[in-house]
Chains A and B, each alone.
Chain A
Amino acid sequence: MSATAILAALLRRLAPAPVVLDLGLPAAGIFPRLHVARCGVADAAALPAAERALLVGLRDPLRGLPPFGFDRAADAALLAGAPAAWGEEPGEGRDRLVWLPGPPPAALAPLWQDGAWALLRSGPPGSWPGPERGRIMLLAGSTAAVERFDLMLPIDRLAPVLEALHAAAQALVATGGRWQLGKRVVSARLASLTALLEAPAALPPPLVIPAAALLQDGPPGLEDGALPLAGVARRRLLLGGLPPGPVRITLRLRGVGSVAPVLFLGGLRQTASLLPDPDGTARLGAAVTLEGTAAQVLGLALPQGAAPPGLGLLGVEVAW
C-alpha cells in the first residue's frame, strides 16, 4: 500500500471528508484514490509544451471543464470559493484540501486566505497568506519506504484534524495488516502522525473509478452514468497517479458490438481480452505494468465505423 493510498484512505475516513483540488498533474497526485472536485496543475505555463497540449485537451465528463490551470474563468470561480466550482451544495461548508506538487504558488493565495488545507511533500515552509498555519507532518507508506508529507492547515484546526486523522488511522489499521501508528503534538503549530505498514494483510482492494470521475478528451456528457463512445474513433482517459508495477486494468463497457475496442496505455497498444457479463455489459481487461511517475493515460480506439450506437464506458477498475 503506497503512501498516497494510505493518505487517501485516511482523508476518506474523515467525517465529512474534505473536498479536494488535486494539482499534482502531470505527475501522480491523489486522484483517482480520492474523489476530487478538480484535477489540474499549479502552473500550466511551466509545463513542457507537449504535456501542456495533452492536458489542455482533457475535459471533465460532467461539466466539460479542462483541468485546473487551463481555463481562467473556471479557475477563478474555484479560487473565489464558489461552492458549485468545488462540487458542493451551497452552505455545505466542507473543508477544502489542495494537493500540491511543491511550494504554494502565489496564484492560490485566495484559497489559503479562505482557510483551505494544503497537502504536499515535506519541504521548505513556503509562504501561506491568510490565517496562521499549523503543520501536521505525515509519515506514511511502509516501514521500508517512509514518505513524508506536510498537511498545512489553519492553526485552530490542527488539534481536531489531528485527532480525526488518528481515529481514521486506527480504523484503517483495523482492516488488517501490521502497522506502526502514532501521533505526537509538539506545539500548537506542529504535530505529527505516523501510519506505516509493516506487513500487509492482503493485496489492497481494487480501485474502482466511475466514468463520471475520468477526465477524457471527448465532448462532455454521460448517458445513464456511462461515457458515450458511439461513433468514436479514439478516446483518451486520464487514469491518474498509480504506483509503478504490475496491475490488471479492466474497463467496464456496455453496448459492445462485434468488434472489441482496442486498449492503449501510455499511448501504446495493449493485449486485452473482452469478457461478456450476464447483465449485458462486458469487461475489457489487460494485464499491464505501470511505469513512470506521470499520471497514467488510457486510450480506446475503434476501427472506423466499428463503434456501435450504444457503446459506453461505465468505469475502470485497477486491481493489484
Chain B
Amino acid sequence: MASPPRLTVFSPLPPERNGIADYAHALLGGLAAHYDRTAACADWLAQAPPGVAVVDPALAHRGFGAEGRVLHQLGNNAGHGFVLRALRMLPGVVTLHDPGLLHLHEVAGEGREAILAGMVSALPGLAERFGRQLRDHGVESRANHLLFDLAGDVLAASRAVVVHSRFARDRLRLAHGAAATAHVAVIPHLLPAREMPERGAARARLGIGEAEFLVVTAGFGTVPKRFDWLIAALALALRRGASLRWIHAGAERPAEFPITARLAEHPALLDRARVTGYLDAAALDDHLAAADVLVNLRFPSSGESSGPVARGLAAGACCIVSDTGAYAELPRDAVLHIPPAATVPLLAEALRALAAAPERARAIGAAGQRFARSEMALPVVARAYAEVIEASRDRPPRAQPPAADQGPPLVLAAWPVPDRAAIAAALASRPGPCRLLLAVPELEALAELSLEMPGLLAALLPPQARLRRVQLQAAPQPGLLLEFAGG
C-alpha cells in the first residue's frame, strides 16, 4: 500500500492563545486520513497531534520533495507573520480565516510601502482617496481595515484559497475581481474531534445550578464583538424581569473594549456577570456546554468565522449571532439572527423570552447541533480540504509577484533638487517592474535631502507608484535605490 502524500501545514499551534492554532491542531488530526503531515510552526516546541512532527518553518522547505503539498493557515494577527512570509516563498493552499489582513501587515513588519502597494490592488479609486491619508499623513484609521483587505498578494501567491463563508469569498471577489478569486473555495468552520462535555457535568464543574439561565460569550474581547451592545442588552433584559447570568469565557482586551469597567456602570448586571480570562480548550468547552445561550455579535464584520460558535453549536447551545457577514449564512432554524441595526432592544427581548422559556433555547440549540454535526464534522471538513489541495496541484499560483527588474536601474539626479515630474515620467516609461536610483553625489547629501524634505519618498513619488523596496546604495553610484512592482 502506497504511503500517503506528504503535507506541510504552516500555522500557529497550541499553546499559542489563538483560535486558529486550535483550528489547525484539530485539522491536522483530521487530515491523518489523507496525508503524512508535518506542521511548520514558529514555536518549535508547539503541540501537534500524535504522528505530526513540528518543524522549524525556515527549514521546512528542505523536506518537501517533489510531491510536497503545502497548506497555510493565515489569520489577521501577529502570530501569523511567519505564515505570510512562507506562503510567498512556498505557494500552496491558503486558508484565509479572516479575509482582512491589514492588521497582520501592520504588526508583522511589512512596512508602510508594502501596505500602500497592497492598498492599490483594492477597489478602483479607494487607494487614491483613502490610501493617501496613510501615505501622506500616516493616518491609520479603523475604516482602512474595512476598505483594504491587503489580500491581493495572498490571492496571487496561492494555488487555492479556502475561506469559511460565501460572504468572505464574495467580499474578496468584490475587491479583487472574479479572475483573481476563481480559485477561492468555501469550507465551513470545523468541529474538533473531541466530544463536547455533557451539560450537567459541565455546570457542576463550574458551580452553576441546573435551573440558572446562563448566557455565555467567548474569545478575546475585541471591538467588533460589540460588548457595548451586549452589555446594554443584558442590562435591559434584567430591567424587564429576565433572570439570567452572563459569563464571558475569554480574555478581556481593555485597550479595545473595557468590559469590566463598562460592567461597573450597570450594578444590577455586575452581580450576575463574570469575565474568566483566557481559558484552555477544556475549560472553554465546559462553559460552552453549560450555556443556555451563546451570544456572538459581530459588527462590522469582515467575513471572519468563529471557532466558539462552531463549538457552541456542537454543544447544543442556542447561538445568537449578528445577522451579518458569515453568520448570516448559518441556517435560520439553527441559530437566532439579530439584525445589527437594532441589536440592543432585539437582543434584550430575545434573552428575556428565552430565559422565560428555556425549552425554546434548547430546541434551537438542538437544531444547531444537528447542523454542526452534518456540515462541520471534522472528517467532512478534512475531506473537503483534501479535495481542494489535490485539485490545486496542477494549478500554478495565479501570478507570482513580478520579479524585480535586474537590469540597470533608471538613474535620476536627486541633488540638489529632486524633480518630481521627471520621476513620474521615468516611471511611466517603465510600466513593468523597475528600479530607480535617486542619485546623489555622496550619501551625506541624501541625509541632508531627507532632513530638508521630511517624508521624502511620499513627496516625490506619484500616487500610483508601487514601491516594493528601498535600499541605500553606496556604490557604484551613491543614492537611494527604489524597486517598484509592475503597475
Physical interaction between A and B: yes
A residues within 8 Å of B by Cβ? Answer: 45, 48-51, 53-54, 57, 72-73, 76, 234, 236, 262, 264, 266-269, 292, 294, 297, 299, 301, 303
Q: Which residues does chain A contribute within 8 Å of B86, judged by CB atoms? A: 50
User: Are B44 and A264 neighbours in the complex by a CB distance under 8 Å?
Assistant: yes
Complex Cα distance, B59 from A57, in Å, reads: 12
User: Are B60 and A267 neighbours in the complex by a CB distance under 8 Å?
Assistant: yes
Complex Cα distance, B56 from A72, in Å, reads: 28
- Please give me the residue from chain A that is nearest to B61 by CB atom: A50
Q: Which residues does chain B contribute within 8 Å of A51, judged by CB atoms? A: 61-62
B 460-479 to A, binary, CB cutoff 8 A, 1 in contact else 0:
00000000000000110000
Contact of B53 among A45, A262, A268, A294 (CB under 8 A): A268
Complex Cα distance, B61 from A298, in Å, reads: 15
Q: Which residues does chain B contribute within 8 Å of A268, judged by CB atoms? A: 53-56
- Please give me the residue from chain B that is nearest to A300 by CB atom: B44
User: Are A266 and B88 neighbours in the complex by a CB distance under 8 Å?
Assistant: no
B 18-53 to A, binary, CB cutoff 8 A, 1 in contact else 0:
000000000000000000000010001100000001
In the complex, how many residue pairs between chain A and chain B have their CB atoms under 8 Å apart? 60
Q: Which residues does chain B contribute within 8 Å of A262, judged by CB atoms? A: 44-45
Complex Cα distance, B90 from A301, in Å, reads: 24
Q: Which residues does chain B contribute within 8 Å of A303, judged by CB atoms? A: 45
Q: Which residues does chain B contribute within 8 Å of A72, judged by CB atoms? A: 475
Contact of B44 among A54, A76, A301 (CB under 8 A): A301
Q: Can you name 20 A-B residue pairings with CB atoms under 8 Å?
A: A48-B61, A49-B88, A49-B89, A50-B60, A50-B86, A51-B62, A54-B58, A57-B58, A234-B56, A262-B45, A264-B44, A266-B59, A267-B56, A267-B59, A267-B60, A268-B53, A268-B54, A269-B44, A294-B62, A303-B45
Complex Cα distance, B487 from A208, in Å, reads: 53
Q: Report B376 CB to chain A, min CB distance, Å.
A: 32
User: Are A269 and B89 neighbours in the complex by a CB distance under 8 Å?
Assistant: no
- Knowing that A49-B90, A267-B59, A301-B44 touch, tell me 12 more A-B residue pairs with CB under 8 angstroms: A50-B61, A50-B90, A51-B62, A54-B58, A57-B58, A72-B475, A234-B56, A236-B56, A267-B55, A267-B63, A268-B53, A268-B55
Q: Which residues does chain A contribute within 8 Å of B88, judged by CB atoms? A: 49
Q: Report B85 CB to chain A, min CB distance, Å.
A: 7
User: Are A45 and B406 neighbours in the complex by a CB distance under 8 Å?
Assistant: yes
User: Are A234 and B474 neighbours in the complex by a CB distance under 8 Å?
Assistant: no
Contact of A266 among B62, B90, B474 (CB under 8 A): B62
Q: Which residues does chain B contribute within 8 Å of A48, judged by CB atoms? A: 61, 89
Q: Which residues does chain A contribute within 8 Å of B59, judged by CB atoms? A: 54, 266-267, 297
Complex Cα distance, B60 from A50, in Å, reads: 9
- Please give me the residue from chain A that is nearest to B404 by CB atom: A45
Q: Report A193 CB to chain B, min CB distance, Å.
A: 34
Q: Which residues does chain A contribute within 8 Å of B406, judged by CB atoms? A: 45
Complex Cα distance, B476 from A272, in Å, reads: 50
User: Are A236 and B58 neighbours in the complex by a CB distance under 8 Å?
Assistant: yes
Complex Cα distance, B59 from A299, in Å, reads: 10
Q: Which residues does chain A contribute within 8 Å of B54, judged by CB atoms? A: 268-269
Q: Which residues does chain A contribute within 8 Å of B62, judged by CB atoms? A: 51, 266-267, 292, 294
Complex Cα distance, B46 from A269, in Å, reads: 11
Given A51-B61, A234-B44, is A264 in contact with B90 using a C-beta cutoff of 8 Å? no
3 nearest A-B pairs in the assembled complex, by CB-CB distance: A267-B59, A267-B56, A50-B61
Contact of A299 among B40, B44, B60, B475 (CB under 8 A): B44
Q: Report A301 CB to chain B, min CB distance, Å.
A: 5
Q: Report A106 CB to chain B, min CB distance, Å.
A: 14
Complex Cα distance, B53 from A301, in Å, reads: 15
**Which one of A45, A50, A72, A76 has the greatest number of beta carbons of chain B within 10 Å?**
A50
Complex Cα distance, B41 from A299, in Å, reads: 14
Q: Report B6 CB to chain A, min CB distance, Å.
A: 14
Complex Cα distance, B90 from A54, in Å, reads: 13
Q: Report A186 CB to chain B, min CB distance, Å.
A: 41
User: Are A53 and B89 neighbours in the complex by a CB distance under 8 Å?
Assistant: yes
Q: Which residues does chain B contribute within 8 Å of A76, judged by CB atoms? A: 475
Given A73-B474, A268-B53, is A53 in contact with B45 using a C-beta cutoff of 8 Å? no
Complex Cα distance, B403 from A15, in Å, reads: 47
User: Are B45 and A267 neighbours in the complex by a CB distance under 8 Å?
Assistant: no
Q: Report B64 CB to chain A, min CB distance, Å.
A: 9
